[in-house]
Structure 1
Amino acid sequence: MPCVGLGVYQNYTTQASVLEALRYGYRHIDSAQAYRNEAHVGAAVHESAGVQREDVFVTTKCISKNHGYEKTPKGVDESLRKFGFDYVDLFLIHNPHSGKDLRLETYRALLECKASGKIRSVGVSNYGVQHLEEIRAAGYEMPAVNQIELHPLCQQKPIVEYCRKNMIIVQAYSPLIQGKMDNPIFNALALKYRRDVAQILIRWSLQKGFVPLPKSATPQRIKSNLQVFDFVLTEEDMAQLDSLDQGKDGAVTWNPVDVP
């Protein structure tokens, strides 16, 4: 899995944005059934010059209305049809809203789709520790990934710690705080490193061991968000960013990690 991905939530120029991203070197695209742009992602991958399908790591997510043992495989097939792919690299349960029974049915169905070759890896999104423990208690293999909101203002430390202990990769959505980046510490570090604030935040995420999924529809931003591998934040500067954690109050999205 490439360590930085392009998020395409609410991107109304998805096909063009993904083509730009692939041209700039991205090889990881994060979509979802709920985003209604799987077909646009697939078209961009197919049209991208010099890029093969197997070179691009594509994620999608099972929308709540498709949760359940019978519905989930049909949703997987529909996603594959829209992408124009034979397989998806990573399929996540998008959220835990459907309740324990349907969550576990959906997870079991995704594992069976993995066994049949339609999915390479199975994971979850917006899962709290209690939801991950359900999977363990049911005796299923643990998810490969948990994708949650993560940035210096919302660090979700208990979930991150659990995932690390259980070898679950943590993907960070909204790593750029949905544009709410006017912070004196962010600005000071951007000046110090001669970078923009977005690059500082993505670099923080990488050094924390996360897989950030920055979203942009602006070609120059798509490009600059990937130019984060030629500098390193010092331990002191990482500590400054770590100190900004506001817990759940720092979330800027729905962040449904506590639903029953």
Structure 2
Amino acid sequence: MTGYDALAEVYEWLISDVKLAPADFAASFADVLDLLPAEAHVLDCSCGTGQLAVGLAGLGLRVVATDASEAMVRRTAELSGEFGASVRTVRADWEELPGHFDDFTFDAVFCVGNSLHHAVGARGRVAALESMSRLLRRGGHLVLTSRTWELVRARGSRLDIGDRIVRRNGRDAVVVYRWEIAPRWEEEHHIEIAIAEVEAAGSVLVRSELLSCWPYRYDELEAELRRVGLRVETSTFDPEAENYTVVASKVQTAG
């Protein structure tokens, strides 16, 4: 897993306007939330700066937020305090989750924000999904969002410079992505993300981080979900769309 420690302090510039407010981020998953019992126990296992976790807690759910980055976990705790939300925060990567929680603990697990590609290759991805599946109660739901890597790879290595200034907390910045696309799917790829903040005096402060990622095809993801005991219930996958959401349920077993 990669850290996001350098980007944690400016991560809000990477969150879309429609998901910046915690209540709005949680509302974007209304269809899934309608399936959960009252006061459901929910895990956000790639919590970032906490917008989703805090939004879910605001709906009365019992929320645990984890992330591999200590800085992200700290920012989630700060946001929880700002909103007076009850969110338990734990620093843990996906494979460490079973060491912190019992099997069958959660009614829903969220792995959103295009995070799964940071798992190291197919083996690491399956291990991450296996950890999430173990923690779900039978019939519980995994909610996962992903980039459409088929599109990303087709575009090749490139530099994407934001075409507009983004304002966050009274400050302006431009977001830049630099993509390093490896020749083969199974090889390590890189994304360098830079936040170029325009300061009041006109100078520009740049914060950046080089992140490793291992892409996957949609059909590979479906097969891996089945392998760890999860059945895809709904999917928004479209080969021409930038992102998609998958909702999978824990397969009922005897016992």
Which interval holds the TM-score relative to the shorter structure? 0.3 to 0.5
Structure richer in strand, relative to its length: 2
TM-score (norm 1): 0.32
TM-score by length of 2: 0.33
Structure with bigger RCO (C-alpha 8 Å, 6+ apart): 1
Greater percentage in helix: 1
